[in-house]
Amino acid sequence: MSSNAADDKKTIPDIIIDKTRNCSYQRLRFFGKGGFAKCYEIQHTGTKEVFAGKIVPKSMMTKSSHKEKMAQEISIHRSLTHKHIVGFHSFFEDISNIYIVLELCKRRSMMELHKRRKAITEPETRFFMHQILEGVRYLHSHRIIHRDLKLGNLFLDDDLHVKIGDFGLAARIEFDGERKQTVCGTPNYIAPEILTRKGHSLEVDIWSLGCIMYTLLVGKPPFETSSLKDTYKRIKECEYRIPSSLRKPAVEMIVMQLQEDPLKRPSVDKLLQHQFFTSGIMPAALPLSCLTTAPRTDQLEKLALQRRPLHEINYIDDGHCGEKISVPQSNRKHLFALRDQLDKLMSTAPSDRWPVLTDELSDPAAQPLVWISKWVDYSDKYGFGYQLCDESVGVMFNDTSKIVMLANGVNVHFITREGQEIYVTMDDYPPELSKKMKLLSYFRRYMSDYLMKAGASAVVRESDGLSRLPHLHQWFRSTLAVIMYLTNGTLQINFQDHSKIILCPLMQAVTYIDVEKNFRTFRFSTIEKYGCDQKLYNNLSYALDKLNAVLGIGPMITFS
Ligand code: ADP
């Protein structure tokens, strides 16, 4: 199923023409690839509105079942309009492809959020589950069963609002009491009654919602095993465990959804009234930083205190943050994971051919959210300053304490040498921090005067109060490169020739910024299969050497 740029150029034109509506779209960024579809950002040439263009080559639609499925997907999706369903704009075809024009969900899906964060906090789960349920309530009230609700089909927009998408396995209930007998495809969070072919209906979505809620709070799916066969066995027997760290309302709600008997599962309306939604805080909005870092627990607790009557204070939602505010994450495990991944990559990837890495081999969904766009080494006196791609700035002082200022230029997070986080603002901080605050301003001014493109205007958002950014955990320089390691597991290496690599063990991907400043992200598995260009290969090999050195894993020195 390999594709190359030349093929795409031939079959997916730069200007896509919708003859029926007499309009056209310009094809912009490659956005991702699914089983059949390729997704591009596309722009209406008249209105300049930007959409997601899901493009399916007709050459892939060989079987009549594929055609039927596609027709069903379009027929269902086009009939839906709701704020928590991916907007369906239009569809059309030309000689080579079918084009589906959809609302663009820039923040990808909850799948990427899950890969980066694993278990998320209870308030975040509440925020997402409420929206997902509202979307499903709309579907069910229109007698639509989605049948493949999973994290990868829950898309996110710039406000982290959920949009349910991908109606490839959806079905319409044609008459009261209809039980569907089959699904043509394999739903991810498949309900027991589908496996046992007992006939199924709307309740299969409630089962999937239970799996989603469990996965969000626990960090892994409820029935996961190492083989599909065992997983299916567990599903049929409804065998799963809930960790004792989850609070009662959450446990109760999960248990209600994951019942073997579909008729015992509650309706969406019932779920929306569940105590889970009223027994803790519901954030009004979440900051984008939640895509990679847990929000500030102190703020969540403050919100909880403000909103709750006094007699309920003993029920404070601790956000299930586990780590609380102060304990630094164990970062070494990310480094070890990355080392193992690179080791496998270097021993698997073909090194006898150097294919051109095309856009279509890239995986933009695995792109890092945070990387270092500027740095200043002033460690002979004070420390190492840097700017992140969102224009926040940080300093790692020589005494290994750290400071980070959000892009809004107001919120400042100070991280002590012991890893405790202290939250202050530019005009309200304890006197003992004043020298470090001055240095932060100094570094910031230096980077904006000398290194930064000017004029980014900072906006303060309400959700900034919850924001926590990854920060620089360690850095060092060699003759060839600067190596920077962030608390979220990202390892960035800037080489002297200005090429850069950004490695992420959670997404298992490398972003390669070549000397021409092309910015592309490849999964390790893609490189293992196809290889990569020689320069990137050398950069990766350098990264592995450095990781081995840092982690003290090197060739054993023996004396004969
Ligand atoms: P398929 O049905 O062939 O599996 P998908 O629906 O998975 O195709 O879409 C392919 C890729 O496009 C995925 O990476 C998905 O994340 C992305 N995608 C699909 N719809 C949208 C959208 N509305 N906004 C942004 N990205 C989208």
The whole-number pLDDT of residue 17 equals 97
The Å distance, Cα 118 to ligand 1 centre, comes to 22
Residues in the chain: 560
Residue range 55-107, pLDDT digits in tens: 999 998 888 888 888 999 999 999 999 999 999 999 999 999 999 999 999 99
Residue 408 near residue 460, CB atoms below 8 Å: yes
Model pLDDT, residue 458: 67
Question: Closest ligand 1 atom, CA of 32?
Answer: 14
In what side-by-side order are the strands of the sheet with 402-405? 372-378, 383-388, 393-397, 402-405, 411-415, 421-425
For residue 10, pLDDT over 70 is answered with no
Q: What is the 3-state secondary structure (H, E, C) of 340-380?
A: HHHHHHHHHCCCCCCCCCCHHHCCHHHCCCCCEEEEEEECC
* More confident of the two residues 319 and 483: 483
Architecture of domain 3-102: 2-Layer Sandwich (3.30)
Torsional sign, CA 257, 262, 264, 270: positive
Going 237 to 241 to 242 to 244, the CA torsion angle's sign is: positive
Q: Report the top-level CATH class of 333-550.
A: alpha beta
Residues of the chain with CATH 1.10.510.10: 110-291
Q: Convert the pLDDT of each residue in 417-440 to its tens digit.
A: 999 999 999 999 999 999 999 999
Would you place residue 358 in the very low, low, confident or very high pLDDT band (cuts 50, 70, 90)? confident
How far is ligand 1, taken at its centre, from the CA of residue 54, in Å?
A: 7
Q: pLDDT above 90 covers what percent of the chain? A: 76
| pLDDT value, residue 496 | 95
Q: Which residue has the CA at smallest separation from atom 18 of ligand 1? A: 39
pLDDT digits 0-9 by tens, 161-199: 999 999 999 999 999 999 999 887 888 999 999 999 999
* 392: number of Cβ within 10 Å: 23
Confidence band, pLDDT 50/70/90 cuts, at residue 560:
very low
The preferred substitution site among 54, 89, 166 for testing ligand 1, maximizing ligand atoms within 8 Å of CB, is 54
Distance 433 CA to ligand 1 centre (A): 47
**Segment 383-423, tens digit of pLDDT:** 999 999 999 999 999 999 999 999 999 999 999 999 999 99
pLDDT digits (tens, 9 = 90+) for 18-68: 999 999 999 999 999 988 899 999 999 999 999 999 999 999 888 888 888
Distance from residue 39's CA to the centre of ligand 1 (Å): 6
Instruction: Determine the pLDDT at residue 327.
Output: 35
Query: Residue with the nearest Cα to atom 4 of ligand 1?
Result: 34
CA 113, CA 295: separation in Å to the nearest integer?
13
Atom of ligand 1 lying closest to residue 38 CA: 10
CA 31 / ligand 1 centre spacing (Å) = 8
Question: Where, residue-wise, is CATH 3.30.200.20 in the chain?
Answer: 3-102
Q: Identify whether the C-beta of residue 191 lies closer than 8 Å to the C-beta of residue 208.
A: yes
pTM of the model: 0.90
Q: Whose CA is nearest to atom 25 of ligand 1?
A: 105
The residues lining ligand 1, judged by C-beta closer than 6 Å to any ligand atom, are 31-37, 39, 52, 54, 86, 102-105, 109, 155, 165-166, 168, 365
Mean pLDDT of 364-371: 94
Residue 317 annotated as catalytic: no
Atom of ligand 1 nearest to the CA of 166: 6
- DSSP result, 195-254: HTTS-B-THHHHHHHHHHHHHHHHSS-TT--SSHHHHHHHHHTT-----TTS-HHHHHHH
Mean local confidence (pLDDT), 262-289:
95
Lowest mean pLDDT among 204-213, 319-328, 482-491: 319-328
Q: Are the C-beta atoms of residues 231 and 222 closer than 8 Å to each other? A: no
- Among residues 8, 148, 166, 317, the one annotated as catalytic is 148
CATH number for region 110-291 = 1.10.510.10
Which tens digit of pLDDT belongs to each residue from 292-335?
Answer: 999 998 887 777 666 554 433 333 333 333 333 333 445 789 99
Per-residue pLDDT, averaged over 123-150, amounts to: 98
Cβ count within 10 A of residue 95: 6
Domain with CATH 3.30.1120.30 in the chain: 333-550
